[in-house]
Amino acid sequence: MTKVVVVGGGLSGCGAAVAAKKAGAEVTLVERTDMLIGVAVRAGETNGNGWLVGQHELRFLGGGELFDTLASVKLHDHVPFPDAAKHGYLYDAGRAEPAIRKTVEQSGVKVIMEIRVVDVVKENGRLRAVKLEDGRLIEGDAFVDCTGTRGGIAVCNKYGKGCVMCLVRCFAYGDRVGVVEKAGGKTASRVRPDGTPGMLSSAVTLFKDTLAPELKARIEKEGLVIVPLPKELVDYDRMKIMGGQRSRDFVENIILADIGPVAKCFGLVYMEQDNFRKVPGFENVQVEDPRASKWNHIGHIGIASRDISLKVKGFENLFCAGEKSGQTSVDGVIITGYLAGHNAARQAFGVEQPLVLPRSLAIGDFMAFVTEKLETGEALKGVYRMARGEYWERMQKIGLYTEDVARVKARVAEAGLSGVLARPVK
């Protein structure tokens, strides 16, 4: 049987595993913690602006399961985020993990959890196996590194404000270990404007019951509430720390959203609990974990050098997806996950040509655009998404953005690619 091994069970790894399985491979997914979906357990926002097109394209290409699963735990629709105001929705970050796990397991993927991959076995530019912490080897014909770019402890201590028990959970399960690094592949990190490697995560989560009752009721009803910060708490340095990922609105206000188990302040980077308590409605607030108060974890460390098919440079059968491939956001990591998993299966089955989508499709143009920016090093200074910023501007300008789902379907059909991700590759 032809085998694909996916390392890292965040949303990119889940996408890669499902896609490789649909392409006909026997698939093993290894996740170091007790949960799938990685940092998306505290994400929530999806489908905003251009991602609508990306999500529908992936569906028409034959790979919609994970987006459909997130939609099945939708909490609030058409959430008016200041910088991604069109058709974004919030999913329930509590119910998303079990729902996605079910989708992955029902697709026939073998999931191994609570153990890390710590090494690789290589032979002439090919990976033969990955090695687990307990010494077991998992052999494969192709591999996908979906280990993300967050943490571990030493990185957070060196480049951040420090490290405590955050959602990356290194203390409980051990640091992230990248397959690409272990195989000797090249990686790079994003840098903040002052040259410091890595970016701070841009979310603070609060226990909903510790908000003033009227504020809690409002976010649960409306999904999103914008609370102006008193002038003395506005800190524009937060924008610099974050690397310009969000607009000024996100440092001048608390952009508070309901993501199910907790309320999330989008884009704030961090704010001390005592400072939150100076804001009306937040007098008794408790932050969910200390990372949001004084500490935080670092992301965008260890992005793999890869080509447009998501194959890691220097290796015949090693692919990457998600943040590891230079992407960020729920939508972007799922999309790269499907493409990398499908191409890993093609490689494993000996299909010569990888699937590279044409620029007539939004995903094809986006992949080419981001890959070029990675080649020039520009992508190490900023992030590209269909929801905001430079790429969102571009897709509107060149006519790739549309709310007309039938048009998206027709474009995929015109490219001759309808359902390509849903069929066995051989």
Ligand X SMILES: Cc1cc2nc3c(=O)[nH]c(=O)nc-3n(C[C@H](O)[C@H](O)[C@H](O)COP(=O)(O)OP(=O)(O)OC[C@H]3O[C@@H](n4cnc5c(N)ncnc54)[C@H](O)[C@@H]3O)c2cc1C
Q: Are 40 and 330 in contact (CB under 8 A)?
A: yes
Q: Locate 262 and state its tokens.
A: 């907790």
Interface segment toward ligand X; rule CB under 6 A; list 37-45, 56-64, 352-360, 368-376: 37-45
d(CA 365, CA 124): 33
7 touches ligand X (CB under 6 A):
yes
d(CA 40, CA 177): 19
152 prior amide bond cis, ω within 30 = yes
Q: Locate 321 and state its tokens.
A: 């997806």
22 touches ligand X (CB under 6 A):
no
Interface segment toward ligand X; rule CB under 6 A; list 24-32, 119-127, 217-225, 367-375: 24-32
Q: For residue 229, which phi and psi values (nearest 5 degrees)?
A: -85, 140
Q: Would you give the distance in Å from CA 409 to the centre of its chain?
A: 25
Which of 4, 5, 6, 11 is the binder for ligand X (CB under 6 A)?
11
156 touches ligand X (CB under 6 A):
no
Which of 142, 146, 408, 417 is the binder for ligand X (CB under 6 A)?
146
d(CA 105, CA 31): 13
Which of 117, 120, 263, 298 is the binder for ligand X (CB under 6 A)?
117
d(CA 66, CA 192): 32
At its nearest, how many Å lie between ligand X and the CB of residue 112?
Answer: 9
224 touches ligand X (CB under 6 A):
no
For 371, residues 6+ apart whose C-beta sits below 8 A from its C-beta are: 306, 307, 308
The residue count of the chain comes to: 426
38 touches ligand X (CB under 6 A):
yes
Pick out residues in 164-203 that bind ligand X (CB under 6 A).
Answer: 176-177, 201, 203
Interface segment toward ligand X; rule CB under 6 A; list 33-41, 275-283, 370-378, 388-396: 33-41
285 touches ligand X (CB under 6 A):
no
Among 22, 19, 57, which residue's Cα sits nearest to residue 358?
57
x/- map, 309-338, ligand X, by CB under 6 A: -------------xx----xxxx-x-----
Positions in the binding site for ligand X (CB under 6 A): 7-13, 30-33, 38-40, 42-46, 116-117, 146-148, 150, 176-177, 201, 203, 322-323, 328-331, 333
